[in-house]
Amino acid sequence: MSTLPLFASQPSPLHAAYACDPAQTLGRRFPEVDAPTRTAFQRDRDRIVHSTAFRRLVYKTQVFLNHEGDLFRTRMTHSLEVAQLARSIARSLGLNEDLVEAIALAHDLGHTPFGHAGQDALHECTAAYGGFEHNLQSLRVVDHLEQRYPMFDGLNLCFETREGILKHCSRRNAEQLNASEPPTKANVALRFLEHTQPSLEAQLCNLADEIAYNAHDIDDGVRSGLLAMDQLEAVPLFDSFRRETLQEHPHLLPVAQHRRLLYETIRRMLSAQVYDVIATTRASLKTSSPQSADEARQMPAQVQFSPAMAANSLALKTFLLHQLYRHPQVMQMTGHAKQVVTDLFNAYMADPAQMPRGFALRAQVRPGNGHETAEVAVVVADFIAGMTDRFAAKEHERLTGLRLLA
Ligand code: MG
């Protein structure tokens, strides 16, 4: 007889009324017995950490391709940083920390290899069949593609976690998804058709994602040599904290100390954004006063930056777009990455038997319904999207004889 405490169904007293409560979850697609020692959201987080797609994030590009250096962020370290920021803000706002952690760790599971270059290429390849969208793919991973449980496909996560993972969704995709979702509130497509908000936890993860990449892309950009410290002086948010840091620590002025100056500036910038979100959201929640997670979903977005910080964040994003993401050196690599993905797509479409057995079997679609090519394209996109950078490069070399990414 187990003596473990049964707290899976008890709400935590630390959570506010507007937080998602694991005891009140809208449930899983396939009913399961509660775990004896973990809440439903803790269990989701654990399922994500143990998934194959999560482990692959370590070999997937964030901005710099995986083979370009060992010290740059990968999708894995990015996801961990998002989880850290989201947890810390959630605690301060009385939101459910386990849920934000689960959403943050899963939010990029559907990303292709080679970052946005890979996603753009796969989207172009599949345009005739509805296109490729990484948010929807993240949901496909946790709903269908992970195969590790005896009685269902996917990880069978709670509605609240799935809701947070599906950050964006086109109307067309939402209508399609709606057909396979339950006709209840536990339908992740519904809010894109009714234009309501997701839970506060989901809203928070969205913002934590932005805070994380704005900060770590500066760090990686400088580390790579593609961004110079003096270029960053054009970014008001960065520059104000750089000046503040130098005022307090003038010994960081010489170039030899610039690494410390960079870290301290980024640290202050991160803190300022976190405190801004907490203060702005608190004020907003105080006025709107939602009495439940569901009431908060019916309100305009509550988790946000102040207008001044939103403008600062936008300026930083714009700077990174022009100076880093579109840097000629980054563009050259993304050009190669796009070719790898496009060549792979064409090769598997021409001969699906080149894929591993499970995918090749799925690609043997029943003839006669007129959608055969589209159905094969979905299987090929699933296979390519799941690849790590180096596996994609190796497969490309095997199939084409070309070595584009060393
Ligand atoms: Mg992200």
State in Å: Cα 75 to ligand 1 middle.
Answer: 7
Considering the domain architecture, whether residues 318 and 253 belong to the same structural domain is answered as yes
- Alpha-carbon distance of 246 to 254, in angstroms, equals 10
295 alpha carbon to ligand 1 midpoint, in Å? 27
**Does 389 reside within a domain?**
yes
CA of 360 to the centre of ligand 1 (A): 30
Distance 209 CA to ligand 1 centre (A): 5
* Residue 10 located in a structural domain: no
Q: Based on the fold, state whether residues 127 and 191 are members of the same structural domain.
A: yes
- Summarize pLDDT for 33-71 with one digit per residue, the tens: 999 999 999 999 999 999 999 999 998 887 766 566 667
Spatial neighbors of 314 by CB under 8 A, at least 6 apart, are: none
Give me the number of domains the chain comprises.
3
Domain range enclosing 241: 202-327
Q: What is the pLDDT of residue 5?
A: 45
- Give the Cα-Cα-Cα angle 234, 238, 244 (nearest 5 degrees): 115
Same domain membership, residue 207 and residue 165: no
Residues 127 and 271 in one domain: no
Give 61 Cα–ligand 1 centroid separation in angstroms.
Answer: 11
* Ligand 1 center from residue 171 Cα (angstroms): 22
pLDDT of residue 406: 65
Same-domain status, 146 and 164: yes
- Enumerate residue ranges in the chain where pLDDT < 50: 1-8, 11, 13
Q: What is the CATH number of the domain that holds 100?
A: 1.10.3210.10
Q: Based on the fold, state whether residues 383 and 296 are members of the same structural domain.
A: no
Same domain? 373 vs 315: no
Among 302, 327, 352, identify where a domain stops. 327
Q: Distance from the CA of 135 to the center of ligand 1, in angstroms?
A: 10
Distance 11 CA to ligand 1 centre (A): 29
* Cα–ligand 1 centroid distance for 195 (angstroms): 23
Q: How far is the CA of 138 from the centre of ligand 1 (A)?
A: 11
Distance from residue 83's CA to the centre of ligand 1 (Å):
10
Model confidence pTM above 0.85: yes
Answer yes or no: is 291 within a domain. yes
Residues 230 and 178 in one domain: no
- Which residue, of 174, 197, 220, is where some domain finishes? 197
Question: Ligand 1 centre from 64 Cα, in Å?
Answer: 14
The whole-number pLDDT of residue 138 equals 97
Residues 300 and 392 in one domain: no
**End residue of a domain, out of 197, 228, 249:** 197
The answer to whether the CB of 43 falls within 8 A of the CB of 65 is no
Q: What is the pLDDT of residues 171-222, one digit of tens each?
A: 999 999 999 999 999 999 999 999 999 999 999 999 999 999 999 999 999 9
d(C-alpha 189, C-alpha 166), whole Å: 9
Same-domain check for residues 163 and 272: no
> Which pairs from 270-276 meet CB under 8 Å and 24+ separation?
270/85, 270/211, 270/215, 272/237, 272/241, 272/309, 273/211, 273/214, 273/305, 273/309, 273/313, 274/85, 274/88, 274/89, 274/211, 276/305, 276/306, 276/309
Nearest to 61 by CA among 136, 134, 163, 129: 134
**From ligand 1's centre to the CA of 313, what distance in Å?**
16
Identify the pLDDT of residue 368: 77
**CA 152 – ligand 1 centroid, Å:** 27
User: Are 323 and 334 within one domain?
Assistant: no
Determine the pLDDT at residue 1: 40
Cα–ligand 1 centroid distance for 237 (angstroms): 21
What pLDDT does 359 receive? 95
pLDDT for the residue numbered 7:
47
